[in-house]
Amino acid sequence: MIEIEGLNKVYNPKSSEPLHALRDVGLTVAGGECVILSGVSGSGKSTLLSIIAALEKPTSGKVIVGGEAIAKLPDLHASHYRSKSIGFVFQHFGLLESLSVEENVTAPLANRRLGRADIAARVQRAMEHASILHKAKSPVRELSGGEKQRCAIARALVNEPGIIICDEPTANLDTANSRKFIELLSSIHAEGKTILIATHDPIFDTLPFPHRIVRMEHGRIVEK
Ligand SMILES: Nc1ncnc2c1ncn2[C@@H]1O[C@H](COP(=O)(O)OP(=O)(O)O)[C@@H](O)[C@H]1O
Ligand SMILES: [Mg+2]
């Protein structure tokens, strides 16, 4: 499903102090697998996830997702790839605060040629799955942190992508909401989605479903 080989990312390559965010990273993730990228802040987790989502381009290396080489995709193709294959849940959610939950979850479908009824059904399903249907009409600014995250998860699910990526998903949640998040993750895993999570929260050391912990240090994978 995901094959990464010899991946490097250098920020500010031409400056006097280039920053090697990723160094010779190799990783293979099978379809349906759940991989937890762990490591301290600055170890390269977000950079690796952004490259897999084609939000950023690597300096060198190979990234194959579902048979497609994505390292050098031009922007338009990258955004097409993302909407088809990837659901991304950002640490700060990235929701439009003045719009309702339903409007936020509908947004990723804007460029799809779907009929109204189909759109409504998909949005309904995604909100239901993420346990946020009861807040469908509420503006996001009125939601709690846990509810905002469930809205972000519904938005990530609405295109029915094969891969769900979450960056520090529990960083802004209390313990009760972190546990709810893990339950939701478990049901997403049971559906056969491939899951990638960057975190340094020890709650992920004991997940109630099969997973693999991949440790990063200074831009390298040190254990997988
Ligand atoms: N846009 C950027 N420009 C310059 N340096 C960056 C940029 N993004 C990340 N970095 C640097 O790359 C390294 C890895 O960052 P990141 O992938 O965000 O780590 P993590 O998610 O594990 O905290 C850090 O040293 C960070 O400061
Ligand atoms: Mg990060």
Q: Is the separation of the CB atoms in 11 and 19 below 8 Å? A: yes
List the one residue out of 30, 28, 44 whose CA is nearest residue 200.
44
The response to whether residue 87 sits with its C-beta less than 6 Å from ligand 1 reads no
Distance 41 CA to ligand 1 centre (A): 9
List the one residue out of 23, 1, 21, 25 whose CA is nearest residue 11.
21
- Write out 120-185 in H/E/C secondary structure: HHHHHHHHHHCCCHHHCCCEHHHCCHHHHHHHHHHHHHCCCCCEEEEECCCCCCCHHHHHHHHHHH
* pLDDT value at 215 more than 80: yes
What tokens were used for 150? 């469930």
CATH of the domain at 35: 3.40.50.300
Give me the pLDDT at residue 110, please: 86
C-alpha distances in angstroms, 123 versus 76, 86, 101, 102, 130?
24, 17, 10, 7, 11
**DSSP H or E run through 88:** strand 86-89
The model's pTM: 0.94
Distance 218 CA to ligand 2 centre (A): 13
Q: Name the residue range of residue 34's domain.
A: 2-223
User: How many CB atoms within 10 Å of residue 98?
Assistant: 9
What are the tens digits of pLDDT across the range 21-77? 999 999 999 999 999 999 999 999 999 999 999 999 999 999 999 999 999 999 999
The response to whether residue 21 sits with its C-beta less than 6 Å from ligand 1 reads yes
Ligand 1: residue whose CA is nearest its atom 2: 11
* Spatial distance between the Cα atoms of 185 and 74, rounded to a whole number of angstroms: 31
Report, as an integer, the average pLDDT of 146-168.
96
What are the tens digits of pLDDT across the range 108-145? 998 788 899 999 999 999 999 999 999 999 999 999 99
- Overall domain count for the chain: 1
